[in-house]
Amino acid sequence: MLCEIITIGDEILIGQIIDTNSAWMAQQLNMIGIKVKQISSVSDDREHILKALKEASDRVQIVLITGGLGPTKDDITKKTLCEYFGCEMVFNESQFEMVEKIFSSFGREVTPINRKQAEVPEICTCLVNQNGTAPGMWFDVDGIVYVSMPGVPYEMMGMMSNQVLPMLKDRFKTPVIRHRTFRTQGVGESLLASWIETWEDALPAHMKLAYLPAAGQVRLRISATGEQAEKLDEEIEQQAVLLYELIGKHIFAESEVELEQVIHQWMIDHNKTLSTAESCTGGTIASMLTKLPGASKYFEGSTVCYSYEIKERLLGVKTETLKNFGAVSEETVKEMVEGALKLHQTDYTVAVSGIAGPDGGTEEKPVGTVWIAIGGPDGIKAKKFRFSTNRERNITMASLSALNMLRKYLLKQED
């Protein structure tokens, strides 16, 4: 089953916004077995839209259109769809009542513009917009489905998840596909692949494994295609057990759960407190944790100790330790942990000291060298890492590695 995504609007064509909608839509469509054949971004222009619709209808069975709705766009998409299908615009009473209801819940009155938004091509089925006032439109003409949705990402996403995807599944009797995603940190794609090669090769033909790498992390996704969701889930579960036996300690979560969320939840569940002592990460770990609502339940604070002086004065790192071993050393990072535990009076602490670059590297300690230590009831554990030559990447990798080391410490896992 093939699909084309058409985005309408000059914002993308002048480079004012990056088209993130299409990637998200493509991912969602892939999950139900629909392949995106082409993505076309066209201007707010009647003739251009007509041409794009015609071209798409020669290529695919599903055409998903975003953007070009609403008063500021002069509702160009809606008008052009009317022209394309040769039908009339009609006032949709129930759509209007819905908008009225949304407005009255905000204590606002409906304007003539909103009334206009309830006008739709007569041959379409209206889709509810739970996050806005412009309705979606579903056309099923000559075996091809066309869907028009708003361009605002969260309006489009709500409409896709709640209506368009289930309707497409139903309309095209797509096969049942089930997915399960495992997230790992700190192991490269090729090393991971070598550890699970035999298992991967033995997967049955209707199950596929995908590697989705990102900075310092790899997502592994098992997809199984068949007819019964329950049976597929069972089969995936059996494979997941085998996968956990092979690389379980590197899997920090499933699906879209981030590493900081794993720490966040553990701290809340165990009623413990946490702090950080950050040199080269400069507050990034604290910032990642405190972005999560409810972080104040366990996160006490952080000492960002960029200078030698702050390391000594606040964290109690000894002058001679810094002198003899340097700021980026096992000795210093361990003293940072001791100091941070005392200073912040938390159950656990994470300390990081490294050379983010681009300057400051030496032959013995090149840019990208980072020492990380964890402290808590089980003593202090320290480890040396060697990342890249890129400053931003080093900060990201050090922050993620520190969170993963803490996770292993909390779960009493060996490295």
Q: Residues interacting with a copy of itself, by CB under 8 A? A: 12-20, 22-28, 30, 35-43, 48, 52, 55, 212, 276, 278, 280-287, 289-291, 293-296, 299-307, 309-310, 314, 343-345, 356-360, 391-392, 395
Minimum separation from the CB atom of position 201 to a copy of itself (A): 21
Minimum separation from the CB atom of position 1 to a copy of itself (A): 14
State whether residue 66 is helix, strand or coil.
Answer: strand
Minimum separation from the CB atom of position 372 to a copy of itself (A): 17
- Bin 368: left if φ > 0, else alpha if -120 < ψ < 50, else beta: left
52 near 66, Cβ under 8 Å?
A: no
Give 96 or 371: the residue with its C-beta nearer to a copy of itself. Answer: 371
> How far is 329 from 345, CA to CA, in rounded Å?
24
Element (H, E) at 59: none
Give 65 or 289: the residue with its C-beta nearer to a copy of itself. Answer: 289
**b/e for 145-166, b at 16 or more Cβ within 10 A?**
bbbbbbbbeebbbbbbeebbbe
> How far is 355 from 184, CA to CA, in rounded Å?
25
β partners of residue 354: 370
Structure tokens at 347: 């159950």
Give 209 or 310: the residue with its C-beta nearer to a copy of itself. Answer: 310
Give 16 or 72: the residue with its C-beta nearer to a copy of itself. Answer: 16
Minimum separation from the CB atom of position 135 to a copy of itself (A): 25
Minimum separation from the CB atom of position 209 to a copy of itself (A): 15
CB-based burial of residue 143 (10 Å sphere; 0-12 exposed, 13-18 middle, 19+ buried)?
exposed
Minimum separation from the CB atom of position 69 to a copy of itself (A): 20
